[in-house]
Amino acid sequence: MSLPLSSYRIWITRPAAQAGYLSESIVKKGAEVYTLPLLSISPATDQSELNDALSRLVQFDLAVFISPSALNAVFAKLNSPWPKDLPIAVVGPGSAKRAAELGAKRIICPPTQFDGEGLLQELGAQTGKKIVLFRGNGGRDILPAGLSAAGASVTVVTAYQRSAPTLDVSEIEYQLQRGCDGIVISSSEAAQHLFNWAGGETRLKLQCALYFVPHHRIAEALQANGANHIVQTEAGDDGITQSICRYFAPVLSPKE
């Protein structure tokens, strides 16, 4: 029996350090994977904010992490175990999985709506709470503003730096010629980087490509750049893989 993604070629655009599990999952379903990181992740330019927050973790009632990259950046700098009484809140299953891998025991994650709004709803009132929020440079303000409105005192920390990668037009053209049956885009920023870079015939080809995205905001960013062949997937790496498999599953003819 052939695997559900046999003969398909899927592009994964996650940052390099976050692409492994999803790539392996899709390869196990039979696809060929091409990795094209559309975000570069590096340490925060100024480490003083992060160092200060880590020196007084025990003073906080809750730590919020925007992404797996935020978790990686913070846990890489820890000089002692994570405080056992300090719960970790995340916006989606990918971050929840990474937090568990790093040894976190108390993890809060929305059950269905995997974004800042979903986490705010899950957390509810935070009157008098001290919350530290770890994110990349220039993140959305929905969570800090929402937590403050819920009564918390919020310390926002830039834990890592996001930047646009340097893309090679000849390499992308070569990969398009080799085949592109679908492109997984995991953030609106990554979608914007792709189309900020692409011009001419390459841009037209990318506008005609099929995209798999786990959130409607990413679909909106793609549509704003002229891409309209978009499938919204389930959240998390397993959900994305399952959604891609369902999309490409052959339609069985009814029995005569």
* Same domain assignment for residues 17 and 122: no
The predicted structure's pLDDT at residue 256: 37
Does one domain contain both 13 and 62? no
Convert 231-252 to b/e letters by CB count within 10 Å (16 or more is b): eebbbbbebbbbbbbebbeeee
Confidence of residue 141 (pLDDT cuts 50, 70, 90): confident
Contact yes or no for 194/38 (Cβ under 8 A): yes
Banded model confidence at residue 170, pLDDT cuts 50, 70, 90: confident
Pairwise CA distance, residues 26 & 90, whole Å: 25
Of the residues 163, 183, 204, which one is the last residue of a structural domain?
163
Encoded tokens for 28: 């196990």
* Judgement on whether residues 56 and 147 belong to the same structural domain of the protein: yes
Parent domain of 108: 42-163
Contact 83, 130 (CB under 8 A): no
State how far the Cα of 144 lies from the Cα of 149, in Å rounded to an integer. 9
Has residue 101 got a pLDDT over 60? yes
pLDDT at 16 over 90: no
Mean pLDDT of all residues in 251-255: 43
Percentage above 70 pLDDT, the chain = 97
The predicted-structure confidence for 63-80, as pLDDT tens digits, reads as follows 999 999 999 999 999 989
Q: Which of 190, 239, 197 is nearest to 15 (CA)?
A: 190
Same domain membership, residue 108 and residue 21: no
Of 117, 135, 163, the residue that ends a domain is 163
Q: Average pLDDT in the 165-180 region? A: 90
Clarify whether residues 209 and 125 are in a common domain. no
Count of structural domains, the chain: 2
- Amino acid occupying residue 241: T
pLDDT surpassing 50 at residue 190: yes
- Mean pLDDT along residues 6-18: 92
Look-up: residue for tokens 């997984």?
Answer: 184
* Residue with tokens 């970790």, as numbered in its chain: 88
Q: Looking at 163, 196, 231, which one is the last position of a domain?
A: 163
